[in-house]
Every structure is written in C-alpha cells, then in structure tokens.
Amino acid sequence: MSGTTVVPELNFEYIKSLIGTVEYQYNGCATTCFITIKGTDIVEVGTSHAFDMSKYDIKLGQESAFAKAIDKLFEQEAYHQKRLKGEYTK
C-alpha cells in the first residue's frame, strides 16, 4: 500500500488532541476564545456575545466561544484530511 496516506478518525477526541493552548479575552459582554494548535502558530478563534450585560455569564460565554472555535477547527481538519486523501485537487 505504498503511497497511501493514513489519516486519523475525525472525532472530538482527535480534535481535542490537537489543542495546544486555550485562551480567553473579554471585552464587555463579549468573549473570544483562541485555540492554538500544538506545535504550530495556527489559531482558531470563536466568539460569543451577550446582548444584555446584566445577563452575562462568563462560563456560558467561554463555552459558546470555545464551541465555535472547535467547529472551525473541525472544518479545517476535515479539509486537511480530505486533501491528504487526495479528495481535493487543484
């Protein structure tokens, strides 16, 4: 099977294994999550925003922003794996 590229199964556990760091930034009732991929300078960003500061919950803001950053990471990794398998060509 020379020339065959083996790629890992794309699931949440695999995606979590790619995470190097997770950092949050806050601006009023907005939360931004920055996920850096291990061994790279690649950063995925997710944001969340509460419309009413009196109802802002930092934990919910973090969870929502993290989920959005993870969604972007899934998209990027799925594209990367398809390219490795030769499913996308120029």
* pTM of the entire predicted model: 0.84
Residue 6: pLDDT band with limits 50, 70, 90: confident
Q: What is the 3-state secondary structure (H, E, C) of 6-30?
A: CCCCCCHHHHHHHEEEEEEEEECCE
Does 7 reside within a domain? no
CATH number of the domain bearing residue 62: 3.30.160
pLDDT of residue 1: 43
The boundaries of the domain holding residue 68 are 16-82
Q: Would you say 35 and 19 are in contact if contact means Cβ atoms under 8 Å apart? A: yes
Q: How many structural domains compose the chain? A: 1
Higher-confidence residue of 1 and 22: namely 22
Other beta carbons within 10 Å of 48 = 19
Q: Are strands 19-27 and 43-49 parallel, antiparallel or unpaired?
A: unpaired
- Using one digit for the tens of pLDDT, what is the confidence trace for 24-83? 999 999 999 999 999 999 899 999 999 998 989 999 999 999 999 999 999 999 988 888
